[in-house]
């Protein structure tokens, strides 16, 4: 048992070391965003101009939506029990505040996802 734990720790340490250079050159990062009543978590994400990023959208509570003409995000419903993946390639740096695109209840008007697009 102790040996197994030690080996796991060694493996984790090794994996951590080798993951650093790989992460630095990741061509297509994935960002998980969870919708709930009435927020997106995380509330702010960062994309890089010209870098295709996969948004992996799920809901832990309620039906919500995301859409942005500026960022090329089609109208996408996000509901419990399913995963929506969207490829986003931002063209222009800036701060984009995306409002929940589906009327979801009392907190809908204040439900936003801030996307910071940086060079």
Q: Does 100 bind Cu ion (CB under 5 A)?
A: yes
Using rule CB under 5 A, residue 35 touches Cu ion? no
Q: Binder to Cu ion among 47, 104, 113, 117 (CB under 5 A)?
A: 104
Q: Under a CB-based contact definition with an 8 Å cutoff, are residues 29 and 6 in contact?
A: no
Half-sphere exposure at residue 54, Cβ-oriented, CA atoms within 13 angstroms = 10
Q: What three-state secondary structure class fits 6?
A: helix
User: Could you say whether residue 66 binds Cu ion (CB under 5 A)?
Assistant: no
Taking 3-state DSSP, the helix, strand and coil percentages for the chain, each rounded to the nearest 5, stand at 20, 45, 35
Is residue 99 within the footprint of Cu ion (CB under 5 A)? no
Taking the complex as a whole, the smallest distance from the CB of residue 73 to Cu ion amounts, in Å, to 15
The residue ranges that bind Cu ion (CB under 5 A) are 100, 104, 108, 111
């Amino acid at each position: 048992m102790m040996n197994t734990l030690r080996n796991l720790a060694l493996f984790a340490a090794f994996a951590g070391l080798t993951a650093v250079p790989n992460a630095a050159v990741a061509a297509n990062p994935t960002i998980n965003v969870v919708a709930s009543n009435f927020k997106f978590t995380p509330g702010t994400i960062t994309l890089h101009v010209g870098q295709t990023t996969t948004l992996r959208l799920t809901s832990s509570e309620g039906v919500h939506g995301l859409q942005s003409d500026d960022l090329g995000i089609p109208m996408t419903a996000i509901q419990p029990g399913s995963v929506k993946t969207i490829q986003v390639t931002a063209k222009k740096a800036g701060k984009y505040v995306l409002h929940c695109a589906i009327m979801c209840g009392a907190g809908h008007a204040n439900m936003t996802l801030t996307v910071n697009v940086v060079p």
